[in-house]
Structure 1
């Protein structure tokens, strides 16, 4: 990863933060993107304090203009773009479909799906200019199955997989590999809305007997971003403690 430049959205916490730290440890120039400015800058400062190279750029991923500006910032700051990790997302409104608000539906689709189209549109254009790259889109186990009360989230994450596969068909021959990762339930701030009993119910859905850790997902993302996965494109990789095997 030494000398390569990576954009990571949603890098202020959770999977994004762990991924940023791992890429930096491997020598990458890390562009940390998040709408949470204070937490995002703290991630950057932590990386720099540990000898890594990182910059922060505040971004609302639901805005195509801001996603374009993020890519332009990375190219201007480090001279190009080699890897992008489209990770930013929200859990969204929890309601059955007939009771879900239109605003709740639109918000989760904008942040969890539209943002990846915006990101790839500008990331791919930058990578084509420099001869190629790798894009890793963070989907979910709910990109493969449904989950009651999470229609918007599940629809968006299914969409991420389809978008990933289509982009891979279009650009793999031009040396841009595009893959998706499907985490199970991971111990991140997204689960802070749940009480202890609900968390235990989630644990029971994973045959491995626990929730995942952000650092475990980061290792898979690193591999997909690296040349070690040079023959991998258009794939969807669950990392779920056996959830989908049930």
Structure 2
């Protein structure tokens, strides 16, 4: 029977803590029928340790994964036992999430957006060094809680400073001009540009354009299947 659903993907958007059971049932269904996970968005209103942990254990191959969960102080954020992630897009707003997590488990994702992660200049420096060695990440944006010291972040990394660059920060996003940028290069020859906009907003992109008109990277065609945003019809599950 599973062969009938070979090319079927399933998407889900959950808001309430009582949806933990529904989410677990979804995961079991996906496994039983050998389905693909499409767009998964978890945005519960209350503590959701179980749901959050399940997402990190089972949704590493979902097409797009967004996790904006409140977790208790007892939540185990150790990622050593979870799999590598291969999401086309990963978004997270988690107070304990850091660039160390990205370096350990998310280097095979294509696009990453983080809101208020905890991190240090050293962790960001280590992430960039791993990215240079080889990574699928095409876009990464992070709005950190503290200012970034660009000199510390780029310590030991060959970089060319440019006064301004037009940077594409994600799929479906138009290029925007940013100042004081640095071009770095992966070991395979792929160029990337980084900037720390307003001190805390860090950006890494492989799709950009410099002032003389030279373009780097290929702009993709956005897939029409998207996660519903908050302006769409209310589709809460559970209660």
Structure 2 length-normalised TM: 0.28
**Considering only CA atoms, is the larger Rg found in Structure 1 or Structure 2?**
2
Q: Which has the higher strand share?
A: 2
Structure 1 length-normalised TM: 0.27
